[in-house]
Amino acid sequence: MPVQTPLIVVVVVALLYLRGARGSVGGRERAERGWRTALFLAGLATIAVALLPPIDTYSDSLFSVHMLQHVLLLEIAPPLLVLGRPWTHIWRLFPLSRRRTLAHALARSGWAAPLRWLGRPSVAFLLMNGSFLLWHLPALYDAALANQGLHVLEHVVFLSTAVLFWMHLLGDGPFKTRLTPPWRAAYAIGAMVVGWALAVVIATAPSPLYAHYADLPTRPWGLSALADQQLAAGVMWVPASVPWTVLALVCLYGWLDPNARRRSWVRRLVGEH
């Protein structure tokens, strides 16, 4: 993918978001809109960091950097985007009459049932974690590294399924189904365990699992293919666990201590708005 393509996409999305966020609002709503806008733009910036040099450049020669790229696309950018509530701003880009027409057309179309299906937390959990495991199968992983189009598809799948997952996890998506705080904590811990399981497989493999990295004649900083693979497992195990752990602890805190829910940031993270 040309270097400028992710940057162009990020800038266009940011401009559309800011255009949809325009309008006169009260002081309290203005403050909320301000921090939500900041979080959404931070999410877009995270995507740009993941897909632009130097991370994207080194991801071809270092499995550990490629794994860091996946962590940014799955666990850092998506919650920031979701907390920015982009769907409300995108919807405002259309005139009111057009919104009503689109809503009625969508309700009568064949897309209504699939959208309700995607609104189930269990489906979102399976889609994100299933695609995460599938794309890390050696054959598919190497194929994505060898084919630019397939590699782009991999990143699109990661980001889209992760956004869907985080909508349910944060209780901040356009869905009627909302998980309770203890279930939200279990939801986060379940995703973390999936990552741990793959990290264990990668870390304990006696030889390199991915031919693309094993066949490189040299690697930056003199790392061996096996050492690079073990470092990648460490990235998946430790930094990738932080977002899940923090959210699980906040949800348990809000559930066990009723007084904690008086704090606005706790209510938002446990899905009570």
Domains of the chain: total = 1
pLDDT digits (tens, 9 = 90+) for 159-216: 999 999 999 888 777 776 678 888 889 999 999 999 999 999 999 999 999 999 999 9
Q: Is the per-residue pLDDT at 77 higher than 90?
A: yes
Query: How far is it, in rounded angstroms, from Cα 157 to Cα 177?
Result: 23
pLDDT digits (tens, 9 = 90+) for 239-257: 999 999 998 988 887 777 6
Query: How far is it, in rounded angstroms, from Cα 60 to Cα 198?
Result: 20
Domain hosting 190: range is 4-269
pTM over 0.95: no
Q: Is the per-residue pLDDT at 265 higher than 60?
A: no
Residue pair 236/202 in contact by the 8 Å Cβ criterion: yes
- Per mean pLDDT, which range of 88-92, 111-115, 187-191, 208-212 is the poorest? 111-115
Residue pair 79/170 in contact by the 8 Å Cβ criterion: yes
pLDDT digits (tens, 9 = 90+) for 25-62: 555 677 778 888 999 999 999 999 999 999 999 999 99
Residue pair 54/31 in contact by the 8 Å Cβ criterion: no
Q: Is the per-residue pLDDT at 266 higher than 70?
A: no
Categorize the per-residue pLDDT at 235 as very low, low, confident or very high, splitting at 50, 70 and 90.
very high
- The type of residue at 193 is V
